[in-house]
Amino acid sequence: MEEPNLSYIHSMSGGDKTFEEKLIGIIKKEFPLEKQEYFDNITARNYKRTAANVHKLKHKISILGLEKSYEVAVNYEDNLIENKTDGRENFEAILQIMTDFLKTL
């Protein structure tokens, strides 16, 4: 499984450390809330809302340099729209990897 990184954030910032810290702070604040909303909706089997949660989380997956994981999220979102949970285990593993990574920042 690929590892999260800050390469994309560094490339966007042009070396502006304040910008990087601000963006990382936003991700660290929003990600746990979005992740919890995802788990609430998947537990309730509200797959349309869960798909919307995955859609939002995809952007953070991308920002953290997880290109292959982004594709996993795209496929999972498509499945949820069709009321299928294929890909759930892989997606939730990605969320855990992101959680662990953000704790190190």
Cα 11 from chain centre: 19
Say if 60 falls within a structural domain: yes
Q: Report residue 41 as tokens.
A: 């909706």
Q: Report residue 96 as tokens.
A: 């855990």
Cα 21 to Cα 44: distance, rounded to the nearest angstrom? 35
Region 79-90 average pLDDT: 98
Region 58-77 average pLDDT: 98
Region 58-73 average pLDDT: 97
Confidence of residue 1 (pLDDT cuts 50, 70, 90): confident
Say if 83 falls within a structural domain: yes
The structural domain count of the chain equals 1
68-80 in b/e burial notation, b at 16+ Cβ within 10 A?
Answer: ebbebbeebbebb
Say if 9 falls within a structural domain: no
Say if 42 falls within a structural domain: yes
Q: pLDDT tens across 2-50, in order?
A: 999 999 999 999 999 999 999 999 999 999 999 999 999 999 999 999 9
Cα 47 to Cα 92: distance, rounded to the nearest angstrom? 15
